[in-house]
Structure 1
């Protein structure tokens, strides 16, 4: 067959699709909408890497505070330098990026998105922060950020439309240069282009996430191009009457599918543009993007544009291989040949064959072969689409008597089990992939999670306070803060046997009130003016040698020059104590000193930290603490303690999975609804005839429910088996002990069932309309 003949037949099919009257237009529209939803999600997926890269580029372009976080020598002040301090905060678990700016000359660099430096007492904010501060919800944050808003930060200075950020004017920042919170810069941008290598297990997670999220989309597109197949085949029988052979008829049918795919590409592009525009107003799991970020890769977009129509043609030709279209009708009423199982098993077996050789690898045993991982997961998930029709056919063939609605549903499934299986394929693939991913995430989570030593029964927040602020003042302000139950304030420094960097024996010093000191040591008795030497500290080596009455020591926290050191003599009446775990889970050693026994000049050498017990029954207790901390020190950033600390990359991958899963679930729900409506439309006359003969609408409604529920149950059962198998292999590949997350399995299965239930309920109103006797009319 030459290319010209193929082109002519395909073109004829395209023409039939657009000129086939109302029935043809409805089928074309259903196919176009179905394919369009899939194409939109594919375009969105191809745009996600560009969106993430755009966010990273924006973050790199505004990079600052480099010198404050490094050991490099601070540059001299010039007319083109800028002093910048980090003043971030958190509000209701949302990070607020904050910077304080003090230009040192007329040529000082402006941050991206800023047209003019704010003066002292003025503030530039992001649009999202401006809206929050103007609302009642942001009242407590407004107390923390009292500066007058004089403008907004431009898009080039933000990583997303929902980002909360501000720049405010500062003064006297040079006095904080040596404290690590202020930097002197002559430009913005991240000079480092290198990044740490990815952990092989994290790369495996990324690969599996992409495959699992994209596979249901591909399955749905393949299903959408077959909408209205039975009516189309009956129409094609008329072509045999005017002389077309079976091959030509199939090519014309492929042309109709090709037309639906082309319309789907157009609609998909439209859906994508609408979705991209709406993305600017959405925030999913703290991720927001500007519409301009979502630009699909040209190569990937071209691949989608070519692959979708080609797949439509191939799927249609494959579907018609077992259908005999004759001049007098379509041979479907005869008992179809029983589906064979052996070749359907080759797909999952082939997938396992690709994955098994990588069992035992992981972070310590080398990287995974990306092509084998992708191919193995794809074959296993595609195996569901091959096995499910056989499972449905085998099971429904053995079902028999029951209520009238049950018999109607079973008979319909026995006649067209393939159509029922196609409708469920997408959700079965999605659930299987989700179960496998849930097992993989649960299995490897411990590798990227560290248990915190913090004792959350004693404290839930910590705040660093600058030296020079009296501990009593700090304690009083936090004790007066709403929602604070307990305050443990400590000053921390070191003493050595000689001043400066030459000290050979060094031990730590903790300063605090008696109540606070009892949180770090077991003390015989305590009153202001006491000094204690404690034993049992984790890093304590020299306390027994230094804790001698009359011993002369030097306070020198930074091990600087001798002129900065302060001499101190160990008092003769010091007491002894035994170290216990402090709120951070550590055991301190060295000296414990009450404020009354501390020389006045030592205050400036103390690094101070406050641990706070929070009454969680008080609404916004954390915000009250942050407001108090900001009043004491505008550069403080209170920490909320958690029981675990997890890798940022691991959390990013999990967030990406949740965002993608939300999109896929929406697509699955939409696809099932379109498929259900298409099947009901094809059975319009049959339903009307049954109602005309006296069949109750309740019976027909239940039959539709059974027709949906049976394939779904079988599909979810197969999905659980395949998902558990894939999850087990992936866990073995990462060298992680096998454990089934049954909660996750049941949750994913429940999500799938909930989507089907929602689709069934939404299809009931059109079903009731189709059951009217007027549906028997024909022209």
Structure 2
């Protein structure tokens, strides 16, 4: 067949699609909506890499850390900036105090001019939050006048909470970490870290698992109204069209729906792009301008979707004989063969098998083999499910009327039922495998902090020049604080610290009340004025040597220079056994009560407060932060947690959850469209059954069984494939195979829940269709 003939037949199909009256337009619209939803998600997927790249560039462009590098000398183009990040109701607030030192100092990205002392510019989200009734405690913490807004170029997301506040006197507090002098914003020499092979593997599998259901649904959407279409094609045979031409015309009709779906998909994407700027999912937000699809990938989608529509239609019609007097489809179809369907998952396993046991230490995983192997395993689900549904329903026996109606319908058109469930099965199989992989490697990226969160939940440092006892009393009186452990910490050496050689031996010194010292050691008896030498510490080897009565020890000065303050080990120093302190360490060195500390040494130790909060006071942490900021604007008390997780791992997991929400929404919408089309095609059949006295409850139950049987089979198949894929992925990472049954069952339950929701939403249209007047014809 010449290209001209193909073009003529496809154009004829396009004309038939749009000139078939109300019925034709409805069919094309349903197809276009299904395709459009898939196209919108594909466009969103092509835009995500650009969104992540923009976020990274924005974060890098506003970087203001020197990482302890030598600060530049003060000039008319320098500024001093201090990190004042805080947290409010579990939301991070990015804060900076800024002080320009000359007229040429560049303002922060997204800020027109520096705010004056006592003023601040804020992000739109923070401005909105500060105006709300729930932000009274945050307004107390940020006692600055809002004079401007940070523009989009200075933010990484539309919901980011950020501010720049004007300050003075920051130069005296430059320390190279929290406070720094700079000439420009941004990280001029970003450090490229070696990619973790396991995280790369997770990224690849997440992308494949999220996009595969989209492709399945697009393929199913172009076959909407297949039975009615085949009956219409019989009329073409009657007027002289041969079988090949008829199939090409059918492909042209599918192409019409796909092209209209591209237009709708672009519209859905544009609407979703605008909506994305107003929502926050799992703490992640973006600006609409971030979501710009890659032109090359967008062009690929524009070409691949219509081509897939034509190809799927031609493949679907291979087993259908369209004759001038009807469609030979009602006859019993040939049984589906199993052998070639098994080749797909076997080939996928074969591609992944060479990488089993590779782990992290043997180079990178082959990205092409990983992608192809996972794809073939998931495509195997779509190939095996029709055979499984056909085989099982052929053996189902008798039952109630609703059961018999459902089973007979499935026996006549098991392929249609399997197509509706394919997307769910693929999504659940991929989700199960990913949950197994995440659960298996979670321990590698989640580390214990060792901190005892039962004894303390927050920690902060007391600024220099502040009395530890006074600040401890302030926090003790703070609402929501049950207990305060106040300790001062420093170092002692056997020689002055400012000399060239420095001390040969050194150890730690901890100062506190007897009650506080009992948190770090088992003390025999204690009263103010006592001193103790600790034994049993994990990494301390010098205390036993230094704890000789009469030996003179030197305090380490705070800062680069300071007076040489000494302490003589008293004759009455006693031995004490160290215990695990609230930070999870067994500290060594000396313990001193306040009276045992030389007066001049008070400036050589730094105060630490460990706070235990009252869980019945929901705002306890906010009250603590407010008191800390009133003590020192640079204070940001740390909140303790029992574990900490890798940021890269956490971001991938967050991306999976965000993507899963989008895919599940697509699955639900596409299933609803398919279900409504199925009901529409069976309108006269349903009306006939009602006219003959069939109860509506019976018909409703039959529709429920028609959905439940293939869904159950699909979930069982996805469980098997998902467990197999998850086991292979775990072996590839060098991790033992374990099954997190809670996650597996929750994934299966989520898939079943989506189908149940779609079924319930389709009941009202079903009840409207079950009327005897549906038999009326014009």
Q: Could you tell me the TM-score, scaled by structure 1's length? A: 0.98
The aligned residue for residue 515 of structure 1 is 515
Corresponding residue number in structure 2 for 1:428: 425
CA contact (8 A) 1:159 1:289 kept: yes
Displacement after TM superposition at 1:569 (Å) = 2.1
Q: Which residue of 2 aligns with 1:288?
A: 285
Residue 662 of structure 2 is matched in structure 1 by 663
* Residue 171 (structure 2) aligns with: 174
| 1:189 maps onto 2:167 in alignment | no
Counterpart in the other structure of 1:221:
218
Aligned to 1:56: 56
CA contact (8 A) 2:558 2:605 kept: no
Q: Give the alignment of 1:556-705 within 5 angstroms.
A: 556-557=556-557, 560-561=560-561, 563-705=562-704
How much does 1:550 deviate?
2.3
User: 1:600 Cα shift?
Assistant: 2.8
Asked whether the equivalents of residues 530 and 593 of structure 2 are also in contact (C-alpha less than 8 Å), the reply is: yes
Q: Secondary structure at the match of 1:695?
A: coil
In the alignment, does 2:121 pair up with 1:106? no
Q: Secondary structure at the match of 1:49?
A: helix
Which stretch of the first structure deviates more once superposed, 187-196 or 339-348? 187-196
1:408 equivalent in alignment to 2:405: yes
1:548 and 1:368 mapped to 2: Cα distance? 58
Q: Does 1:235 align with 2:232?
A: yes
Counterpart secondary structure, 1:178: coil
Given that 2:553 and 2:567 are in contact with CA atoms closer than 8 Å, whether structure 1 keeps it comes out as yes
Q: Classify 1:73/1:179 alpha carbon distance in 2 versus 1 (closer, same or farther; 3 Å).
A: closer
Q: Confirm or deny: 8 A CA contact 1:479 1:487 kept in the other structure.
A: yes
Contact (CA 8 Å) 2:30, 2:224: kept in 1 or not? yes
Structure 2 counterparts to residues 327-366 of structure 1, below 5 A = 327-366=324-363
Structure 1 segment 76-87 matched on structure 2, within 5 A: 76-87=73-84
- Residue equivalent to 1:548: 548
Aligned partner of 1:18 in structure 2 is 18
Shift of 1:774: 2.1
Task: Give the secondary structure class of the aligned counterpart of 2:174.
Answer: helix
**How many Å apart are 1:444 and its aligned residue?**
0.7
Equivalent position SS for 1:618? coil
**Aligned Cα root-mean-square deviation (Å):** 1.2
CA distance in 1, matches of 2:732, 2:694: 56
CA distance in 1, matches of 2:535, 2:566: 23
- Structure 1 residue 488, shift from structure 2 partner: 0.8
1:261 aligns with 2:258: yes
Once the two structures are superposed, the pairs formed by residues 440-589 of structure 1 within 5 Å of their partners are 440-499=437-496, 500-501=498-499, 502-557=502-557, 560-561=560-561, 563-589=562-588
Is the Cα contact below 8 Å between 1:467 and 1:606 reproduced in 2?
no
Cα shift at 1:179:
6.6
1:359-408 deviation per Cα after TM superposition (whole angstroms, max 9, x unaligned): 00111222211111100100000001110000000011111211111111
Q: Which runs of 4+ in 1 moved over 3 A?
A: 557-561
Structure 2 gaps, min length 5: none
Distance 1:652 1:251 in 2: 46
Distance 1:122 1:511 in 2: 40
- Helix, strand or coil for the counterpart of 2:175? helix
Partner of 1:370: 367
Cα deviations across residues 659-705 of structure 1 (Å, max 9, x unaligned)? 00000000000111001001000001111111111111111111111
In the other structure, the counterpart of 2:734 is 735
Find the aligned partners of 1:282 and 1:624 in 2 and give their Cα distance.
29
The within-5 A match list for 1:89-104 is 89-104=86-101
Task: Output the CA distance in 2 between the equivalents of 1:623 and 1:496.
Answer: 40
What is the match of residue 378 of structure 2? 381
CA distance in 1, matches of 2:177, 2:251: 68
Structure 1 residue matching 2:236: 3-state secondary structure: helix
Deviations 1:391-433 (A, max 9, x none): 0000111112111111111110000000000000000000000
For 1:647 and 1:333, locate their aligned partners in 2 and report how far apart those are by CA, in whole Å: 58
TM-score, scaled to structure 2 = 0.98
